[in-house]
Amino acid sequence: MPELPEVQTVVDDLNKKVLGRKIAGVWLDWPKAIKDPLDQSKTKIAHKHVEIFKKSVVGKKILAIKRRAKNILIYLSGDLLLLIHQKMTGHMLVGKWKIDGKKVIPIEPKAVVEDSYNRFIHLLFYLDNGQMLALSDVRKFAKAILGKTKQIENLPELVKLGPEPLDSKFKYENFQKIISSEHRKIKQVLMDPEVIAGIGNIYSDEILWEAKIHPLKPAHKLNSAQLKTLWNAMRKILVKAVKMRGTSSSDFRDTAGEKGNYTDALLVYQRENEPCNRCGEKIQRLKNVGGRSAHFCPQCQKI
């Protein structure tokens, strides 16, 4: 699933490419991607609801684009807010496509045309400058929710989120208090969006390796020195990953259809049995740590 660096990369791109544009039309072939903000549990979305979604966004101007945790928030004129969550395999693209029956044919840019991971287009917004904003999602888990600004901003999935790890208002003292109160394994804590927003499987592994902390270490047993090291590691890794435009170890692509550069900088994630860059010991993988795997160095990250 795209994490903070990947989603921030998309948001930064969209602010450069589509900010200020008007939505001229909408095409979609997967109505289930459109969720009712009042009842997202519905497995079937009424045809009427999809038509309302289309009519509501057409003619609206894109006023602002922000990130909250792993959510993309597109503020529209008319006091509307469009939330897009890319889920496991979704990514946003800006380019041009042609609809031929049930086929979505890519025209540009080059990476969108050539990379097979960009071909699963299920939602398209036509923009007033001839460009298109698209959602590609091979597994069809991504969702789009449209509503009044306050309605969307007050959705439980946003209200319950923890602080943003790179927010200047989020100080070390807050971080220390939050982590020290947790009795779960530190890997689980870092991945919990209600504790800290935006960190998932990839970057929790990278952060813990950087901090030399074992993923199974109970969070409340970290001493003050370890907590400070973890704080610095978290900010260092996330800032670097944003600068390098995220990780594409799976199917993440940026808005031009290109892979993120942090894939080549990974030091522990998905490097099982490879030598640790710090000590040479083989990287190990633990299964089912909060429902995910955990990669770590048994020499550098002793429990």
Strands (E), 130-188: 132-137, 143-148
Is 275 one of the catalytic residues?
Answer: no
Select the CATH number that applies to the domain covering 172-296 from these four: 3.40.50.300, 1.10.8.50, 3.40.50.720, 1.20.200.10.
1.10.8.50
CATH architecture of 4-159: Alpha-Beta Barrel (3.20)
CA torsion 82-86-91-93 (nearest 10°) is -10
Q: Do domains 4-159 and 172-296 have the same CATH topology?
A: no
Q: Catalytic annotation on 185?
A: no
Domain ranges of the chain: 4-159, 172-296
Asked if 3 is an active-site residue, the reply is yes
Choice among 21, 35, 68, 70 that is catalytic? 70
Of these residues, 3, 6, 206, 258, which one is catalytic? 3
Helices and strands (H and E) in the chain: how many: 9, 12
Spot the catalytic one: 2, 5, 106, 215: 2
Digit-by-digit pLDDT tens for the chain (303 residues) are: 899 999 999 999 999 999 999 999 999 999 999 998 877 766 555 567 789 999 999 999 999 999 999 999 999 999 999 999 999 999 999 999 999 998 999 999 999 999 999 999 999 999 999 999 999 999 999 999 999 999 999 999 999 999 999 999 999 999 999 999 999 999 999 999 999 999 999 999 999 999 999 999 999 999 999 999 999 999 999 999 999 999 998 889 999 999 999 999 999 999 999 999 999 999 999 998 988 999 999 999 998
Active-site choice (96, 182, 292, 298): 292
Phi and psi torsions of 80, nearest 5°: -110, 150
